[in-house]
Amino acid sequence: MSLVVGQLAAWRFLVGSSVLSRAAVTSYEDLGLFAFGLPGKMVVAGTIIIQNIGAMSSYLLIIETELPAAISEFLSGDYSGSWYLNGQTLLIIMCVGIVFPLTLLPKIGFLGYTSSLSFFFMVFFAVVIIIKKWSIPCPLRSNYIEQYFQISNATDDCKPKLFHFSKESAYAIPTMAFSFLCHTSILPIYCELQSPSKKRMQNVTNTAIALSFLIYFLSALFGYLTFYDKVASELLQDYSKYLPHDVVVMTVKLCILFALLLTVPLIHFPARKALMMMFFSNFPFSWIHHSLITLALNIIIVLLAMYVPDIRNVFGIVGASTSTCLIFVFPGLFYLKLSREDFLSWKKLGAFVLLIFGILVGNFSLAFTIFNWINK
């Protein structure tokens, strides 16, 4: 819950910093420029580019890996070798037919419809997880299941634990923080609001983060209450093992993959804007520049997804630092720099706490991620 409060505070400081700058701030990079000049702008832009390319490549890698398996579950018989079960072919088709046209859109507001569809898919996912809680008995009884879960029939397996810590817990904080990472889109959305104001933007952020938190919380809670200690990191894998060929579960898997696919254009928008501001900030808007950078970014993320199999491990380490900078460090730092309030004021103290919290979380996550990666 503290992470959610921290996210809301960070969003508030971002919008507050844009107001304090007393200039036409339309992006995260603009804040870096007004706070620390050109170096600040370049650092923010570089951080956004690295973070978002890593996220988009990771999402496309998941689609390349999981989409053929999700489609094959609907098929009976041997269709191995078919083009529609080839991950790279499907990835190229999806990117050319869906991702590239959506990323060409000049304003982020145009992606509101695809975002609503993606959110609907996540709601469907949460509803199915809740309903399946009463479809799967505990303890799990099936020779097929015992093959995967190595379970006993003891009723102790069905008692929830309030706290459980392991070396994997090190990934919990950065994962939860990343799940709410949309700070790079906050200012573009703010600028595209009708009659933008801090109050209206706060209502948008409160609604968005509350709905996201509710979906994540219900999915995690009922997923755990279904499988308890045997729950997998990829929740739907458990349902596929216990309920093979269940049409609803198979449909949910496809919906989640399309939700990831529709998220890529949203992440693409800030990355393209960062590149535009780095190289073409002194030029008027040009469809040629816009299209070429969009095409180049799409080619880069597709190639990374197709030919760098350990891309998630590489960007997992990079993301542990870039994510916390974008989420916690930069919002607090920019507000401290731009605000003329006394340092002991509540807002400045809050910004300072957010800054320190981000530094601690980033270092902690980075250290444990590297430690676990080396051990593996």
The structure tokens listed for 35 are 């706070």
Tell me the CATH architecture of domain 2-375.
Orthogonal Bundle (1.10)
Q: How confident is the model at residue 157 (pLDDT cuts 50, 70, 90)?
A: low
94 has pLDDT over 60: yes
pLDDT greater at residue 17 or residue 220: 220
Tokens coding 52 = 């978002």
Number of H helices, E strands in the chain: 15, 0
DSSP-assigned states of every residue in 270-309: HHHHHHHHHHSTTS---HHHHHHHHHHHHHHHHHHHHH-T
Give the pLDDT confidence of 287-299 residue by residue, as tens digits: 899 999 999 999 9
For the stretch 16-68, pLDDT in tens is: 555 555 555 667 787 888 888 888 889 988 988 988 888 888 889 889 988 98
Confidence of residue 367 (pLDDT cuts 50, 70, 90): confident
Over range 89-114, report the average pLDDT.
89
Q: Does residue 236 register a pLDDT over 50?
A: yes
Q: Report the distance separating Cα 127 and Cα 134, nearest Å.
A: 12
d(CA 33, CA 256): 37
**Tokens 């409160």 label which residue?**
206
> When comparing pLDDT for 146 and 233, which is higher?
233
| Stretch 197-206: mean pLDDT | 76
DSSP state of 74: T
Query: Would the CA dihedral through 195, 201, 202, 207 be positive or negative?
Result: positive
Take residue 223 and report the two structure tokens written for it. Answer: 């997923």
Q: What is the pLDDT of residue 153?
A: 46
Residue 261 · residue 99 · CB < 8 Å: yes
| Percentage of residues in the chain having pLDDT higher than 90 | 16
Q: What is the pLDDT of residue 143?
A: 45
Q: State residue 16's pLDDT score.
A: 59
CA distance 317 to 327: 16
Quick check: 227 pLDDT over 70? yes
Contacts of residue 320, Cβ cutoff 8 Å, sequence gap at least 6: 174, 362, 365, 366, 369
Phi and psi (nearest 5°) for 283? Answer: -110, 150
Q: Are 140 and 151 in contact (CB under 8 A)?
A: yes
Domain boundaries, the chain: 2-375
> Given a cut of 90, is residue 124 above it in pLDDT?
yes
**Model confidence at 151: pLDDT above 50:** no
- Model pTM greater than 0.85? no
Q: Is 165 helix (H, G, I), strand (E, B) or coil?
A: coil
Which is higher by pLDDT, 347 or 215? 215
pLDDT bucket at 98, cuts 50 / 70 / 90 = very high
Over residues 59-76, the pLDDT tens digits come to 898 899 889 888 888 887
Specify which of 148-157, 180-189, 283-292, 343-352 reaches the highest per-range mean pLDDT: 283-292
Lowest mean pLDDT among 55-59, 184-188, 362-366: 184-188
Mean pLDDT value across the chain:
79
Work out the angle at residue 359's Cα, subtended by the Cα atoms of residues 316 and 51, and round it to the nearest 5 degrees. 35
C-alpha 368/C-alpha 372 separation (Å) is 6
Say whether pLDDT at 314 is over 70.
Answer: no
